[in-house]
DNA sequence: AATGAATGAGCATTCATTCAT
DNA sequence: TATGAATGAATGCTCATTCAT
């Protein structure tokens, strides 16, 4: 087996185990067993347990960035772009609950001090949103008074919370299409009946 | 010192230590030292470490529920009520970063299975939002097609993510007043310039 | 309640709890609860946990010594005296399983170093047997070549092992009368069919 | 070092430490240090502390069973067989005081409920005695009215109590040869001068 | 004398990491 | 590269004992 294969086998196993047990409750030996690899082998590919989490996170987010970017590039309407982002995020999280879980864990569970200096992919991911917002503003499609730095947090936070619930309640009340529409509408037009009033 | 005092001293210490180190990295002896109490004393008031986290969480959220409910009851306009909720949540989190942190931890860090059957206060908290939404809908102030069950998650998630960032970046770009206005506006009227279009 | 009463209430409770859980697994608070007394109160009557065990043991054995001595004094035939000893020991252990248990514990479970300097009652108890043996020898009823110091251990050991089994198997195969007869016979005439041969 | 070696090194160390301090006072780290092994290593070979005690006990008793069985098989006279049993037991306990101690501990110290379903070797050991008795009865060498189930307990109890004393008094009054003869005689012919009388 | 809240030393067990093979 | 036995630091929790009331 080639090195790259083993590396990704471990990443896959780690994603699964971290998602299932949480970072602190996951044991290296769990991951090793899941990856069908010896415990020690893991340390040939990662420096330590936390490094694995970070790698998993970065890799998964990296793929998301790529995938969403590809789709968005084909569009020109910022409304549609935002819609695509929301759609994609929710669909990916629904499809891959482990991924949703790992995002939750990495973002909140581990030592904040260690965290900061490497989360580049995640910044990139959030910045897809703010870039859309800014484009919309320059094209006079989005309100000028929206602060993209805040909007990107609000949108990501909303999506993330919804994904969190999916991971807790196996059967949620609303289906994914409805949820997408709802979230998109809330962010595009707000909850007011007559905004002009 | 009276028993009640010691209990709340421990809660306070636990909140601080959990916030600073995270649940898994917090040692009982850290909390004991912070509370100026012996390690064993903690077990006179709590069954185990996780029980402390849950107690801290429930108590803090309980106070939030009370405080926000009191303020909202004085209002009648659903728009204003939603604004008050957003305002309060953000102000509390800004004021008490430990609280924000503990919410983050409890919501994502610990065993989901154990969690569900006790997080009543948190449900209550979220339901404040959906109640406001429903009231707004019945008064034709909010759009009829908004699903309160999704909106409450979206709003809480947005607020929570913003608070998370405050806890990471000591100095955030935007001040609290601006952030409040932004979030309120995003949720009330959305990001579109001309929703009618 | 008079002091003596409380002392004996604690002794009774301790006997019960030690018997049920063993010395090391018994908690002071268990004994206190059983005696309907505060934990701290126990330390007004005993120096420490081990001191309680020793007190329980000495008191119980002391009573046994007294009881058996009284009965034996009425007899003159060493054969009958030995029989009475065996009878009494077995009957007491059958009647009071806690006592049997505490003997087992004290004799084997606790620190040998601490033990030695106080076990006077137990020596007295064993010496009842050797005294009987010696009397029997001087009256030419028992064999001259029997060493009383060894015989007393053999007899006590046999009785104690039988009592141990009673405490493990709730229903033993043999009833107490039969057991008494058996043990008495084994020690009086041995197992041989034709000792002369 | 091979695995088997390490296992037996730990068994040896545990036997020594349990004997010296008693089960409850023995610390895992004591055993680890005695075995020149890390604390954690012990848990690669045993599930927990109690499991070690049980393993030690079973292994030691197992060896005794084997050794005594081998010797007894060469004999045909039940009198001699009983003598061999007594001889062997006492010699082994004298030689290996730790072993005597561990028998004492395991038999009385630990949870009786757990105990029963695994002490197979010990049952085997006691049944060597009853088998001898039965053989003697069928050959009309031993009295027909002796109950083997009681006799085996009486004999084991006697031997065990004598071994207990050896472990307490470093210098006992009687030497081993004399003790053997005494015990054998007591059980074979009893203490009476004229059994016929 | 009696209480029981408070103490804090003590320890079994876990598990990330190492390293000889 | 790969293994997995070995390591030993780390810690939640217990419980005998104390002492202010």
The pLDDT, as a whole number, for residue D117 is 53
Q: Please compute Rg for chain D using Cα positions.
A: 19
Report how far residue C48's alpha carbon sits from residue C43's, in angstroms, rounded to the nearest whole number: 7
The pLDDT, as a whole number, for residue D113 is 47
pLDDT at position B68 over 50: yes
pLDDT band for C108, please (50, 70, 90 cuts). confident
The pLDDT, as a whole number, for residue B184 is 93
The pLDDT, as a whole number, for residue B172 is 66
Q: Contact B77/B140 with Cβ under 8 angstroms?
A: no
pLDDT at position C172 over 80: no
Residue located via tokens 């016979």 = C185
Q: Contact D169/D144 with Cβ under 8 angstroms?
A: no
Kindly state the average pLDDT of the residues C19-23. 88
Q: What would the 3-class secondary structure string for D83-142 be?
A: HHHHHHHHHHHHHCHHHHHHHHHHHHCCCHHHHHCCCHHHHHHHHHHHHHHHHHHHCCCE
Query: Rounded to whole angstroms, what are the CA distances from A108 to A53, A113, B61, B160, C179?
Result: 12, 12, 18, 11, 70
Contact C133 D160 (CB under 8 A): no
The pLDDT, as a whole number, for residue C193 is 72
Report how far residue A44's alpha carbon sits from residue B9's, in angstroms, rounded to the nearest whole number: 46
Kindly state the average pLDDT of the residues C126-145. 94
Nearest DNA or RNA nucleotide to B38 (CA to C1'): E7
pLDDT at position A195 over 80: no
The pLDDT, as a whole number, for residue C33 is 97
Report how far residue A131's alpha carbon sits from residue D163's, in angstroms, rounded to the nearest whole number: 86
pLDDT band for C42, please (50, 70, 90 cuts). very high
Structural domains in chain B, CATH included, are: 1-46 (1.10.10.60), 50-189 (1.10.357.10)
The pLDDT, as a whole number, for residue B118 is 57
pLDDT band for B101, please (50, 70, 90 cuts). confident
| Rounded (10°) angle between helices D176-189 and C176-189 | 120
How open is the CA angle B37-B42-B48, to the nearest 5 degrees? 155
The pLDDT, as a whole number, for residue A114 is 47
The pLDDT, as a whole number, for residue B171 is 59
Neighbours of chain D (3+ CB pairs under 8 A): C
> Mind listing the pLDDT tens digit for each residue in C48-78?
999 999 899 889 899 999 999 999 999 999 9
Contact D153 C161 (CB under 8 A): yes
Contacts of D109 in chain C (CB under 8 A): 22, 24, 105, 108-109
Q: Is C53 on the interface with D (CB under 8 A)?
A: no
DSSP A31: H
Question: Across-strand partners of A142?
Answer: B192
Which range (B79-88, B163-172, D186-195) has the least confidence?
B163-172
For residue A50, with 0-12 CB atoms within 10 Å meaning exposed, 13-18 middle and 19 or more buried, which class applies?
Answer: middle
Residue located via tokens 């909303």 = A158
pLDDT at position D170 over 70: no
Of the segments A17-26, A95-104, C172-181, which one has the largest average pLDDT value? A17-26
Question: Across-strand partners of A192?
Answer: B142
The pLDDT, as a whole number, for residue D99 is 86
Q: Which residues touch strand E (CB under 7 A)?
A: A 25-29, 39-40, 43, 48-50; B 1, 3, 6, 37-41, 43-44; C 1, 3, 6, 37-41, 43-44; D 26-29, 39-40, 43, 48-49
The pLDDT, as a whole number, for residue C29 is 97
Query: Rounded to whole angstroms, what are the CA distances from C149 to C76, C155, D85, D177, D178?
Result: 21, 10, 21, 15, 12
Q: Contact D17/D38 with Cβ under 8 angstroms?
A: no
| Residue of chain C with shortest Cα separation from D189 | C190
Query: Rounded to whole angstroms, what are the CA distances from A54 to A122, A164, C102, D90?
Result: 11, 19, 59, 65
Kindly state the average pLDDT of the residues C147-154. 94
SS3 D33: helix
Report how far residue B31's alpha carbon sits from residue B56's, in angstroms, rounded to the nearest whole number: 12
User: pLDDT averaged over chain B?
Assistant: 88
Nearest DNA or RNA nucleotide to C28 (CA to C1'): F16
The pLDDT, as a whole number, for residue C114 is 47
The pLDDT, as a whole number, for residue C73 is 95
pLDDT at position B152 over 60: yes
pLDDT at position A180 over 90: yes
Please give the structure tokens belonging to residue D192. 């009476």
Distance of CA C124 to the CA centre of its chain: 11
pLDDT band for D115, please (50, 70, 90 cuts). low
Of the CA atoms within 13 Å of residue A184, those in its CB half-sphere come to 19
The pLDDT, as a whole number, for residue A190 is 80
| Residue of chain A with shortest Cα separation from B24 | A24
């Amino acid at each position: 087996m080639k090195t790259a294969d083993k590396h990704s086998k471990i990443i896959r196993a780690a994603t699964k185990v971290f998602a299932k047990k949480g970072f602190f409750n996951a044991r290296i030996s769990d991951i090793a067993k899941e990856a069908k690899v010896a415990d020690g082998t893991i340390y040939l590919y990662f420096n330590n347990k936390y490094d694995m989490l970070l790698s998993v996170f970065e890799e998964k987010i990296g793929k998301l960035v790529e995938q969403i970017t590809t789709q968005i590039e084909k569009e020109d309407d910022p409304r549609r772009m935002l819609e695509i982002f929301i759609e994609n995020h929710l669909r990916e999280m629904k499809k891959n609950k482990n991924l949703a879980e790992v995002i939750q864990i990495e973002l909140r569970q581990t030592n904040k001090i260690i965290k900061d200096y490497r989360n580049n992919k995640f910044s990139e991911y959030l910045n897809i949103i703010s870039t859309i917002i800014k484009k919309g503003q320059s094209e006079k499609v989005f309100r000028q008074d929206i602060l993209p730095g805040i909007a990107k947090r609000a949108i990501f936070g909303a999506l993330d919370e919804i994904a969190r619930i999916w991971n807790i309640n196996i059967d949620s009340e609303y289906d994914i299409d409805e949820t997408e529409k709802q979230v998109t509408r809330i962010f595009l037009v707000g909850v007011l009946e007559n905004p002009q009033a």
